[in-house]
Every structure is written in C-alpha cells, then in structure tokens.
Structure 1
Amino acid sequence: MSLRLGAVQLLCRKMSTFSTVQRGAEATESFRLFFRNGNGAAISPFHDIPLLNDPDKHVFNMVCEVPRFSNAKMEMATKEPLNPIKQDIKKGKLRYVANVFPYHGYLWNYGAIPQTWEDPGHKDARTECNGDNDPIDVCEIGHRIGKRGDVIAVKLLGALAMIDEGETDWKIICIDVNDPLAEKLNDVADVEREMPGLLDATVRWFRVYKMPDGKPENKFAFNDEFQSAEFARSVVMETHEQWKALVNKQTSSELAISNTCLGNESSVDSEKADSTVSAAAETGPSAPISASVDTWRYC
C-alpha cells in the first residue's frame, strides 16, 4: 500500500520550518494551537508534517505537545479539522497529570510522531492488544525544555509497550538530534549508561501516573523492559502504514483526516484551512489554574 505524493505534498516536505497560532485561552476548553508551514499556510500536525526529517539518517519528526515538567495534558485534537493541539477533558474538566512524588509533571518533552496511527481495529501480535486510536507517543529525553508546538528532529532509542486499559499504547524514547548527548545515544543501553535511572523512572511514572485519579496501575508487555532502537523504528513504521490506510480511507474511523499537503480527496485549499483557524475562539488571556495542580501525591 502506498500513499501518492502530489506536488503539493512534495512542497510541504521542503517546508521544514513550522510555526503555531494560538486561538482561545490557555487553561480553558477553548484553547487551540494551530500549525502553519514555512509558507504560512495552515496545516495539520497529524497529517501534513512528514514522518521523517532525514530518511537517510533515520531521523524522525516529533510534535511536542507537553513540555517537560508541565502538568496540562495536551494532545492533538484528532477528531477536529486540522487537528490543533488542545487540552484533554475528562468528565467535563480539563486534565492535569498529578505530581506523583518525587516527580513533577511529565519527565520529558512529550508528544507524538506525525503520520502515525495506532489502529484500534488492529491487534498487535506482540502485546495481544488493539491500538489506542492515536498517533504514536514519544518521550524526548534531551536537556532542553521544549515549547508546546515545537517540531523536533529526533532519533529513536527504544520502545516501551504500555498496556493502558487493555489497549496497546507504545511509548517511544527518543532524543533531539541537536542535543549535546545525541551522538552518544543510539540505543536503550546507551541511555542507561549516560542517563542512569531515567528508564526506571520512566517505567514507574507510566505505571502510577493515573493512580491518583483512582485508576489501577498500568501494565507493560515484555516484562516491563524497553526494546531496542531497531524495534522502535519497526513499530513506528508499522503505525505509519496504519496511518496511510486511515488517510486513504481504507479503514473506517471517526478521526478528522482533512489536510493541505497530501493531495488526496480529503485535502483542502489554503483558504478553507485558514477559515478553520479563523472560526476558532478568539485568543484571550490565560485562565487561572487551581493550586491543587501542584499538590504532591503519593503511591
């Protein structure tokens, strides 16, 4: 199965500089962060940002949804046109991850690899669980605290197979190729050598982060062990194929697949894409955040 690349998509591949446009107000349900390419055209971070930054060197693109040490659970709005980043909502409330002692917020720059999708109709033979219906998640472990909406060139170092409420929810460990440690890190063993304790902390964080909300601890395949960089690349490429099936309408889904670069029947012109951004709520000042977000929780 292949996805045809029209002239428009080839142009988008050359537009490696991306920017964001905020609509609505932070810490409210109205907040949306839209993306534009180097030409200023509105795009979907889910569908229009290329999977690969440098195919010859196995360098991938990552969209940063949650900067390290922050608590707001932000994610691409996969069911909305152009898939802006928004804050997740559960039971009518904005979601914040708890500070489970001794961790504050997320341990890494957290986000997703564009043009990937974990198909909920596909059972992974290795985990015996279906996908979680989202782009594949990544944890960028470099020294720089990213910004929401950053598009970061990363190399993959390993994979953790988390089972979240019966669904496969891969967590890919990666590092910014421009990080000072990037040359020394090529696989999970290198991470343990250069950044001792980080992988163990990552497993524990994912195991317990929902427990303060009354959820059971998460489980993992492969005896809680990280898999290799080669394994991680194979998982990402599998989810890329599942994404191709999604945008080519070869699988049924309620997700929004409008785009400006793929040159398929779901593509929209720049005028319609701009109207989607303009129709979102007016930009406003951030709302106050409850002090309870900074509370320590113990598990």
Structure 2
Amino acid sequence: MSFSIEERGRANTPDYRVYFKNSEGNYISPFHDIPIYADEAENIFHAVVEVPRWTNAKMEIATKDALNPLIQDVKKGNLRYVANVFPHKGYIWNYGAIPQTWEDPGHKDADTGCCGDNDPIDVCDIGNKVCSRGEVIRVKVLGTLALIDEGETDWKVIVINTEDPEAADFNSIDDVRRLKPGYLEATFDWFRRYKVPDGKPENQFAFNGEFKDRDFAIETVKSTHEFWKALVAKKTDAGGLNW
C-alpha cells in the first residue's frame, strides 16, 4: 500500500495545503482513508508525518476540512511555529498522527480524568531518519506519555519507524531509556515547556509524567480507534469534523 502527496499553495502561508493520494492516484483523507494498521497481527501501525524532525512549522491534519489535508495551524491570525526551547531545535522527533483514531472530547479518560482533544492520536517517531512532510510510515509502538493540554487529554505515543536499521532493538519504553539515554527526559522537557515562550504556563501530565509501557500504549491507540469508528458510524457527535 503506497501513498503520495500533492502540495498546493506556498509553504509558510495560510493557503498552503498538502493533499494525499492513494496508489491509484485518487484523493484520500489521511484521517479516515489510510488504514490504522500496517500489520494488525504484529501491532504495526501507519503514521502520517505532519512535522519532520528539527522543523518548527506547526502542521496538522485539518480535521474540519474536506479531504483533511495538512495545513499550518493558525492562532489569532498568525501562522504557528514552535519556539526553539533551549537546548532543542524545533520538534525533536518526526511528529505526526495515527490515522483512523480520534481522542473523543466527550469521553472522560478514567486514568487522566480529562476528555480527549478532538484530534487523531499523536506520535513521536524516534527513528534516525528525518522524514518528509506528509510521509506515511509504518511504526512500532513503544510507550506513551499522557500530556494534559489546557485541560484535555493529549496522548503522545512513542514509536519507531519499522524501516529504521535499529528498529529490531526497540520493543519497549525501557529499550528507549537504555539505547537512547536522555531522549525520554528530553521529550518530557519539550512537552512541558514548548508553550512557555508564548506566555503560557508549563504543561501538566497524568501519572506524574511517567511514560507508560508498550502494552498500555497499544491499548490506548486501539481505544481511540474505537472512538473513531463510533464517529464515522454517526454514533458520536462529530462536532464539526469532516468525515
């Protein structure tokens, strides 16, 4: 299964869009039409790269637009960029989302005590490759961090690209801690402080900022897939989302 992109408009402008196509050349939604699983039996998921590592433009799937292209987020009329919070440069992983998932804003999570953020679930790919914007990769889930973003549950799932030459060595959050020392601490620090330059307070976390393990993370991803299925089956209020 292969996918391609079509860019429209000029990057770093409000008109810029990244549309997705399937192998037949038909336009598709990265939110709804790319399967969640690349290999369900092995718990290998697809992930859509919204923001390549080391870049700053806050790109995201436009969940309320037709075909859900990637767009740059806008706040108060201005395009959004994340600040370089020392010692970090832009996003410190390939950042994106798992298709066919949805963090339901009407569901209060039993663990976090907060409702979902109305978006697909986020991923941080720790592989060595710097991916390109709109790239669809196959990922292995390693763990998750429960960010509480302005009162909403915003899971950050730690994954590794299965094409990474070291992917076979990474099977748990402890492997990340052992083989990439300091990376989890940097991830926590990044999410804690990335909004501070905009005048906002530090972000909060469930579980005292602890990273939860692989099994917990996979179940979390699967639960957001169930919320997505309820959304497209019209069993849940879409809240303006385009599906």
How does the TM-score come out when normalised to structure 1?
0.81
Task: Give the paired residue count.
Answer: 242
In 2, the alpha carbon distance for the partners of 1:166 and 1:196 equals 30
Please state whether the residue corresponding to 2:156 is helix, strand or coil.
strand
Select which of 59, 65, 79 maps to 1:80. Answer: 65
1:39-54 aligned within 5 A: 39-54=24-39
Please state whether the residue corresponding to 1:144 is helix, strand or coil.
coil
**1:181 CA drift (Å):** 1.4
Report the equivalent of 2:181.
196
1:131-280 aligned within 5 A: 131-253=116-238, 254-257=240-243
Please state whether the residue corresponding to 2:208 is helix, strand or coil.
helix
In 2, the alpha carbon distance for the partners of 1:84 and 1:173 equals 24
If asked which structure has higher relative contact order (CA below 8 Å, sep 6+), I would say: 1
Are residue 102 (structure 1) and residue 87 (structure 2) matched? Answer: yes
Please state whether the residue corresponding to 1:246 is helix, strand or coil.
helix
Report the equivalent of 1:6.
none
**1:179 CA drift (Å):** 0.6
| Equivalent position amino acid for 1:179 in 2 | D
- 1:134-159 CA-to-partner distances (Å, cap 9, x unmatched) read 00000000000000000000000000
In 2, the alpha carbon distance for the partners of 1:178 and 1:105 equals 23
| Equivalent position amino acid for 2:7 in 1 | Q
**1:69 CA drift (Å):** 0.1
Report the equivalent of 2:14.
29
**1:223 CA drift (Å):** 1.2
Please state whether the residue corresponding to 1:207 is helix, strand or coil.
helix
Select which of 10, 13, 17 maps to 2:2. Answer: 17
In 2, the alpha carbon distance for the partners of 1:252 and 1:154 equals 30
Please state whether the residue corresponding to 1:196 is helix, strand or coil.
coil
In 2, the alpha carbon distance for the partners of 1:21 and 1:65 equals 14
Report the equivalent of 1:291.
none
In 2, the alpha carbon distance for the partners of 1:248 and 1:56 equals 25
In 1, the alpha carbon distance for the partners of 2:42 and 2:234 equals 30
Are residue 125 (structure 1) and residue 103 (structure 2) matched? Answer: no
| Equivalent position amino acid for 2:242 in 1 | A
Please state whether the residue corresponding to 2:165 is helix, strand or coil.
coil
- 1:98-142 CA-to-partner distances (Å, cap 9, x unmatched) read 000110000000000000000000000000000000000000000
In 2, the alpha carbon distance for the partners of 1:38 and 1:141 equals 27
Structure 1 segments of 4+ aligned residues over 3 angstroms from their partners: none
In 2, the alpha carbon distance for the partners of 1:200 and 1:141 equals 13
In 1, the alpha carbon distance for the partners of 2:63 and 2:221 equals 18
In 2, the alpha carbon distance for the partners of 1:250 and 1:215 equals 35
**1:178 CA drift (Å):** 1.1
Q: CA RMSD in A?
A: 0.4
| Equivalent position amino acid for 2:187 in 1 | T
In 2, the alpha carbon distance for the partners of 1:31 and 1:248 equals 31
| Percent of paired sites with the same residue | 61
**1:73 CA drift (Å):** 0.1
Report the equivalent of 1:7.
none
| Equivalent position amino acid for 1:39 in 2 | E
- 1:153-178 CA-to-partner distances (Å, cap 9, x unmatched) read 00000000000000000000000011
Report the equivalent of 2:100.
115
| Equivalent position amino acid for 1:44 in 2 | S
Please state whether the residue corresponding to 2:112 is helix, strand or coil.
coil
